[in-house]
Amino acid sequence: MIAIEHLTKRYGSTTVVDDVSMVIERNSITVIVGTSGSGKSTLLRMVNRLVEPESGRVLIDGRDTAHEPAHLLRRRIGYAIQGHGLFPHRSVAENIATVPHLLGWEPARIRSRVTALLEALQLDPAVFARKYPHQLSGGQQQRVGVARALAAEPEVLLMDEPFGALDPIIRDKAQDDLLDIQRRFATTIVLVTHDIDEAFRLGDRVAVMSAGRLLQYDRPEVLLKHPADTLVARMTGLSDRAMRLLALTTAGEAVVPGASDGPGVASSASLREVLCELIWRGVDSANVVDAAGAPLGRLTIATILAHGRPS
Amino acid sequence: MSVLGVPVGQPRSARATARAARIDRLGILLTLLGATALVLLPFVVLKANRIAPGDPRALVEVLPRWAALGTEALLVLVAAVALGVARARARLAAALAGIVAVALAVAHAAALLTPPGNAVVRVAPGAGFWLLASALGLMAADAIARLRPGPAMRVLALAAFLAVAGLALAHGTFDSLSIMREYAVNADRFASEAQRHIALALGSLGAAVLLGLPLGILAHRVPRLRPAILALLNIVQTIPAIALFGILMAPLGLLAAHVPWAAAIGIRGIGAAPALVALFLYSLLPIVANTVAGLRQVSPAALDAAHGMGMTPWQALARVELPLALPVILTGVRIVLVQNIGLVAIAALIGGGGLGTFIFQGIGQTAIDLVLLGAIPIVVLAFSAAVLLDALVEALDRGRR
């Protein structure tokens, strides 16, 4: 658990981060979203002390991060940034081994960890370990950046706009992969983005920031249904908030007993996707099936629409 | 006038332009230079003694008929390749064959013109020889540039060139030529002055790297110091070499006169000490400026990642910043080394020694061959240093881009 308590940072007369407090749960993805200049990156960088706060403190599992040397703290915290920041003069394997190397791991342990990470990120170690960053595609570079951040089994992974440099299709895949990795390694992830869709898609909890202040910090559906103020409502999207809400719920969560003569839809599909399918086919209901194809129940357009309302 | 709508004469002129386009432009220039050299300028100059005015001789006058005609036929063939063959390998082979032929011809001419047992008569390469050699050298350099060899190939080519030249010199192929006659007289001093030359150039470079690298890192880290440091070094760079040697004489002379240990380690107003100090001062600017430029072009994302993953500032410097800045820093080292090899020649003026000694002695005695004995090795040294360091920079750069 990470407890951020009254963090404030000023540069000259401008307050970049203004008295922010929040609690980040273990084994979850927390997304900090805001426009540029909202202070979201500065807030993230105060967690691993790349920026030292003016006042306030950060506790990781109850221990004040100010009480140990910054470089030792950072070796326990994964760090992935936009444009990956890979070292161009080091091979993929050497890049991934950076923190284990700093921590003085045995060479054999480093090798097996690098291999395991490359495999987990769908990069064949035999092909990629010896390559240099400039020989990789943008998506591959981004994955190596994530592998490097995860190399020393960090308690927390900080990500600053990690998908910012990717084109939309590759970004979609990278977001899926991140959800998969989070489940597999049970990592606590704090991610900064300016993209509200990305925030809702990835975040178990989303923090909305503007002008250095934390406006609201809650689960995505709460942000949509009960925005704290008009600014949050505007940022989370007034015009299509019903559709955003539908995108947050899966067919499996909304399914009701019964059968339908409509098409079959996967229980993992979002209500938004099911609704689109029904509109497209011109039918009123669908059968929800699980991964094995066994029927779970049905969904009607009326049931779906009910989920798109604030209460 | 036209036939069936096609202007008459068009096909012929089109063919003519196509043919003209195929003639190599550099080849035209080189052929003109070569022809001028061969027809109008003396191939060798015969002198009654080392400082006497020369008696010009053409190629056909000194070589036996078959050798002169053979050499000329080969040069015509080389010119044909230069004009009409686009393949770089063929051009390189032709140029090298031409260089070997001209070098052997001048060596042979010198041997024929020198009366047996006469140590006074000198046969020097004439303007025609130098112009021919330059044209052929230009053709070879152009062909190598067109081949775009990798760093390893360029170093190999340099090694091969030095090996062939060295073997020919050791074998005595050129022993009758005036420059080698001067060498024979100065052989014992030549080796020590050459060593001195290299030691002065490398020593001042080493000292400049030792101080310039930390100074460059400091200027990079503390932006407020940067303009002051670079401005100061820029001023040093603008002082002419001879003036700087002169300026240094007084303080170093005083130091030697009043501090016993300074004199004991060889510090004097004239000699190697002021030369080394002046060269060191000249070397600082390129090293410091390139260190700053190299560190500035390190990707901010890579540096942010280095700090974010828990490297200490020293670790980030040693493992990320300096390795990434290295190609730019080495470019500075290359500039300094080539510059110093040339500047050391002037050090001879203040008793610093080195190959410049022969140059200034030769000027004093109006013995141009002695000047060349100093100048040619300096050119070869500077050229070799440039090729080696360029190859090193490129090899380092290749793995990263």
Tokens representing residue A56 in the block: 């306030």
Chain B residues in contact with A79 by the CB 8 A cut-off are 305, 308-309
* 8 Å CB contact of B309 and A148: yes
Could you give the CA distance from residue B176 to residue B181 in angstroms, rounded to a whole number? 7
Name the pLDDT band for B93 (thresholds 50, 70, 90). very high
In three-state form (DSSP H/G/I as H, E/B as E, the rest C), the secondary structure along B17-49 is HHHHHHCCHHHHHHHHHHHHHHHHCCCEEEECC
pLDDT value at position A96? 95
Interface check B398 vs A, CB under 8 A: no
* 8 Å CB contact of B301 and A81: yes
Interface check A89 vs B, CB under 8 A: yes
Chain A residues in contact with B305 by the CB 8 A cut-off are 79, 81, 84-87, 145, 148
Name the pLDDT band for B266 (thresholds 50, 70, 90). confident
Q: Which of A50, A87, A149 sits opposite B307 (nearest CB)?
A: A50
* 8 Å CB contact of B324 and A88: yes
Q: Model confidence over A101-124: pLDDT tens digits?
A: 999 999 999 999 999 999 988 899
* 8 Å CB contact of A132 and B299: no
- pLDDT mean over A49-77: 93
* 8 Å CB contact of A99 and B400: no
Name the pLDDT band for B199 (thresholds 50, 70, 90). very high
Among residues of chain B, what percentage have pLDDT more than 70? 94
Q: Which of A44, A49, A71 to mutate to test the interface with B (most CBs of B within 10 A)?
A: A71
Q: Which of B305, B310, B323 sits opposite A102 (nearest CB)?
A: B310
- pLDDT mean over B250-262: 80
Could you give the CA distance from residue A119 to residue A142 in angstroms, rounded to a whole number? 15
Q: Which of B302, B308, B401 sits opposite A74 (nearest CB)?
A: B308
Mean pLDDT rounded to a whole number for chain A: 91
pLDDT at B252 over 90: no
Closest CA to B253 of B227, B275, B274, B233: B274
pLDDT at B395 over 90: no
Chain A residues in contact with B328 by the CB 8 A cut-off are none
- pLDDT mean over A143-165: 91
Provide the shortest C-alpha distance from residue B314 to chain A (in Å).
11
pLDDT value at position B35? 92
Q: Which of A75, A85, A132 sits opposite B305 (nearest CB)?
A: A85
Q: Model confidence over B20-39: pLDDT tens digits?
A: 557 888 999 999 999 999 88
Question: Is A100 in contact with A93 (CB distance < 8 Å)?
Answer: no
Q: Model confidence over B131-141: pLDDT tens digits?
A: 999 999 999 99
Chain B residues in contact with A81 by the CB 8 A cut-off are 301, 304-305, 308
Q: Which of A74, A87, A105 to mutate to test the interface with B (most CBs of B within 10 A)?
A: A87
Strand duo A264-266 + A213-218: pairing: unpaired
Could you give the CA distance from residue B390 to residue B399 in angstroms, rounded to a whole number? 15
pLDDT at A289 over 80: yes
Interface check A73 vs B, CB under 8 A: yes
pLDDT at B8 over 50: no
pLDDT value at position B13? 53
- Closest chain A CA to residue B313: A71
Closest CA to B303 of B211, B216, B221, B222: B221
Q: Which distant-in-sequence residues (6+ apart) come within 8 Å of A25 by Cβ?
A: A1, A188, A204, A205
* 8 Å CB contact of A81 and B320: no
- Closest chain A CA to residue B311: A71
Cα-based distances in Å from B157 to B265, B338, B396: 41, 19, 19
More confident residue, B384 or B244: B384
Q: Which of B299, B302, B309 sits opposite A79 (nearest CB)?
A: B309
pLDDT at B193 over 90: yes
Angle at the Cα of B222 (from B221 to B225), degrees rounded to 5?
A: 135
pLDDT value at position B14? 54
Interface check B399 vs A, CB under 8 A: yes
- Number of Cβ atoms within 10 Å of the Cβ of A58: 21
- pLDDT mean over B154-180: 92
Q: Which of B304, B305, B310 sits opposite A72 (nearest CB)?
A: B310
pLDDT value at position A22? 95
Question: Is B128 in contact with B43 (CB distance < 8 Å)?
Answer: yes
Chain B residues in contact with A75 by the CB 8 A cut-off are 309-310
Among residues of chain B, what percentage have pLDDT more than 90? 57
Which residue type occupies B235? Answer: I
Provide the shortest C-alpha distance from residue B326 to chain A (in Å).
11
pLDDT at B149 over 70: yes
**Which range is least confidently modeled, A44-48, A262-266, B202-206, B288-292?**
A262-266
pLDDT at B3 over 50: no
Provide the shortest C-alpha distance from residue B322 to chain A (in Å).
11
pLDDT value at position B4? 44
Number of inter-chain CB pairs under 8 A, A vs B: 65
pLDDT at B92 over 70: yes
Interface check A37 vs B, CB under 8 A: no
Interface check A171 vs B, CB under 8 A: no
Question: Is A122 in contact with A70 (CB distance < 8 Å)?
Answer: no
Question: Is B262 in contact with B268 (CB distance < 8 Å)?
Answer: no
pLDDT at A248 over 60: yes
Strand-pairing partners, residue B347, are: none
Could you give the CA distance from residue B109 to residue A262 in angstroms, rounded to a whole number? 103
Q: Which of A82, A89, A99 sits opposite B309 (nearest CB)?
A: A99
What ipTM does this complex have? Answer: 0.85
In three-state form (DSSP H/G/I as H, E/B as E, the rest C), the secondary structure along chain B is CEECCEECCHHHHHHHHHHHHHCCHHHHHHHHHHHHHHHHCCCEEEECCCCCCCEEECHHHHCCHHHHHHHHHHHHHHHHHHHHCCCHHHHHHHHHHHHHHHHHHHHHHHHHHCCCCCCCCEEEECHHHHHHHHHHHHHHHHHHHHHCCCHHHHHHHHHHHHHHHHHHHHHCCCCCEHHHHHHHHHHHHHHHHHHHHHHHHHHHHHHHHHHHHHHHHHHHHCCCCHHHHHHHHHHHHHCCHHHHHHHHHHHHHHHHHHCHHHHHCCCCCCCHHHHHHHHHHHHHHHHHHHHHHHHHCCCHHHHHHHHHCCCCHHHHHHHHHHHHHHHHHHHHHHHHHHHHHHHHHHHHHHCCCCCHHHHHHHHHCCCHHHHHHHHHHHHHHHHHHHHHHHHHHHHHHHCCC
pLDDT value at position B195? 94
Interface of A with B in 124-143 (CB under 8 A): 132, 134
pLDDT at B12 over 70: no
φ/ψ of A289, rounded to 5, equals -120, 155
Could you give the CA distance from residue A1 to residue A26 in angstroms, rounded to a whole number? 5
Global pTM?
A: 0.81
